[in-house]
Amino acid sequence: MSKVNSMEIKVYDTTLRDGTQAEGVSFSVMDKIEIARELDRLGVSYIEGGWPGSNPKDIKFFKEISRISLRKAKIAAFGSTRRMGVRADRDPNLHALMEADTDVVTLFGKSWVFHVQKALRTNKEENLRMIEDSLEFFKKRGKEVIFDAEHFFDGYKANPHYALETLKVACQAGADCLVLCDTNGGSMPYEIEEIIHKVQKNIKYPLGIHTHNDAGVAVANSITAARAGVHHIQGTINGYGERCGNADLCVIIPTLELKLGLRCISRVGLRSLTETSRLVNELANLSPNGHQPYVGRSAFTHKGGVHASAITRDEKTYEHINPKLVGNERRVLISELAGRSNVLYQLKGEKGMGRKEKIILSKKVIGKIKALENKGYEFEGAEGSFELLVRKTDGRYKKLFNVEGFRVTVERGRYGNRLISEATVKVRVKGKSYHTVAEGNGPVNALDNALRKALEQEYPQLRQMHLADYKVRILDAKAGTRAKTRVLIESTDKESRWGTVGVSPNIIEASCEALLDSIEYKLFKDS
């Protein structure tokens, strides 16, 4: 273990290239620039920017990023070895990589005979020449060259001699690092370890690892490689990637740092990991995985009363690390499984209230929660509504505005075949009466816009808040269209994210209740 602990791991991020091959993921050039800045702040060693020979967007990215001064990360351009039968100095893809003007070039070449014959449709000797010529082309021009041995583990299982030969040729051509790729993502951790040790016996050279998650073990394979002495690990933020994704750096990095004692980024960078994960989710326009290890919203969330009771005494009873180490936070949910400990945990920050008072208040709150949940409410993901409930129970609630009435209409025909949603609200706030009208892309959006139109005049901070998620649940499906509906809304501003809940047989009324709670919680939170 001492040998492992003395190593420093170089983290190579390929979110901007391999990550964009995930279904539903696409970044604009400005998105890629923002992510690159964030990755540099996080502290990764390499950022793979894209394949400049494949599309104009990547070419533009390399031009833009060259004007930006990064603190640590090196930008890498990615591409393949030269074409079959074409001289390296005449290959257009290699010239596109040179024109990207990066310090680092990452080239992938075939190391599996099956792929050489089926995908490249060439012979083993020509494939070796393609690897050698391409790497020499860039080394003669002063580039740091990383060689990705594509399908290496499958290739080694089929023909270990040839797979090793591709690595030896890359060494002779001057590659700075040899990356062993589990491109199909089907290798097991014990196979990864065994093959890496065999490579190390034959080749004394810096090694890297690149794994995919098709068998669900990409992270385990990467960690196994690090324990085996591999010093360069590739992956993507949130595990984005083709098919089942790549190895998730949001799991690999804290595991290396906090479990194995391997240095890969600074502790300051580690504390920004959750923020990085959420930024990439936001720019990819994908909902975050709440159950993602380390950085997921539920990663340090406690629901059962026994758990909540234990962590009030010592967090280590049900947490493997302090969530603050990765920039996350502890949450205790309120639900039908909650005990007094859950509510007391939520009240621990209340000032001017002794423990006896908190116990009395918690009993009242639990009673109200159980009565409301019997009607269909759920506070598990609605901490905003729960906070307002506590304030109403202990007498601290002060209504900041009053909705005196609202009307929502949905109409088709007035403007051709287009569906129009319009909301009218009458609101009294700070002694003034506001009567506003707004349209939206649906009745809830129209209602939200009309409320904001009135309230933002007195509470401009509401402009920072926006709807992050909207969920509808039919509670008694057998009642058909008369069924009671539960609406859960997630809202966010520059600082935090919170949920609110509304229940009614009328979906618009349930939505309005959740919207009003969300707005009130924002105003209480800020004050």
Assigned token pair, 69: 């001064």
Residues 2-8+48-231, CATH architecture: Alpha-Beta Barrel (3.20)
To which H or E segment does residue 489 belong? strand 485-492
Q: Of the given ranges (13-22, 108-117, 320-329, 392-401), which has the lowest mean pLDDT?
A: 392-401
pLDDT digits (tens, 9 = 90+) for 152-174: 999 999 999 999 999 999 999 99
32 Cβ contact list (under 8 Å, min separation 6): 16, 49, 50, 61, 65
Question: What pLDDT score was predicted for residue 334?
Answer: 64
Mean pLDDT along residues 209-231: 98
User: In angstroms, what CA-CA distances link 186 with 151, 215, 291?
Assistant: 10, 5, 24
Mean pLDDT along residues 453-475: 89
Confidence of residue 303 (pLDDT cuts 50, 70, 90): confident
pLDDT digits (tens, 9 = 90+) for 489-520: 999 887 788 989 999 999 999 999 999 999 99
What count of other Cβ atoms lies within 10 Å of the Cβ of residue 481? 6
Q: What is the mean pLDDT of the chain?
A: 90
Q: Of the given ranges (60-74, 131-145, 283-297), which has the lowest mean pLDDT?
A: 283-297
Q: Of the given ranges (6-10, 85-89, 475-479), which has the lowest mean pLDDT?
A: 475-479
Confidence of residue 1 (pLDDT cuts 50, 70, 90): very low
Bin 243: left if φ > 0, else alpha if -120 < ψ < 50, else beta: left
Question: What pLDDT score was predicted for residue 3?
Answer: 46
Mean pLDDT along residues 237-242: 97
Q: Of the given ranges (240-254, 270-284, 446-460, 484-498), which has the lowest mean pLDDT?
A: 484-498
**Four-residue CA torsion sign, 506, 512, 513, 515:** positive
Q: For residue 302, list its beta bridge partners.
A: 332
State the Rg of the chain over Cα: 28
Distance of CA 64 to the CA centre of its chain: 24
Q: What is the pTM of this model?
A: 0.76
Examine the pLDDT at 442 and tell me if it is beyond 50: yes
pLDDT digits (tens, 9 = 90+) for 329-386: 887 776 555 555 566 666 665 555 666 776 777 778 778 877 887 888 887 778 888 8
Question: What pLDDT score was predicted for residue 309?
Answer: 66
Q: Of the given ranges (138-152, 356-370, 454-468), which has the lowest mean pLDDT?
A: 356-370
Confidence of residue 423 (pLDDT cuts 50, 70, 90): very high
Examine the pLDDT at 297 and tell me if it is beyond 70: yes
Mean pLDDT along residues 170-181: 97
Examine the pLDDT at 480 and tell me if it is beyond 70: no
Confidence of residue 222 (pLDDT cuts 50, 70, 90): very high
Question: What pLDDT score was predicted for residue 46?
Answer: 98
Q: Which of 219, 217, 181 is nearest to 199 (CA)?
A: 181
Question: What pLDDT score was predicted for residue 254?
Answer: 98
How many CA atoms does the CB half-sphere of 82 hold within 13 Å? 22
**Four-residue CA torsion sign, 313, 316, 317, 318:** positive
Q: What are the sequence ranges of the domains in the chain?
A: 2-8+48-231, 301-384, 402-526
Residue tagged 């004007």 (tokens): 67
- Report the C-alpha gap between 122 and 499 in whole angstroms: 58
Residues 402-526, CATH architecture: 2-Layer Sandwich (3.30)
User: In angstroms, what CA-CA distances link 466 with 10, 12, 387, 456, 491?
Assistant: 38, 34, 19, 13, 6
Question: What pLDDT score was predicted for residue 345?
Answer: 64
- Report the C-alpha gap between 442 and 187 in whole angstroms: 48
In percent, the amount of the chain with pLDDT more than 70 equals 91
Residue type (1 letter), 145: V
Question: What pLDDT score was predicted for residue 6?
Answer: 56
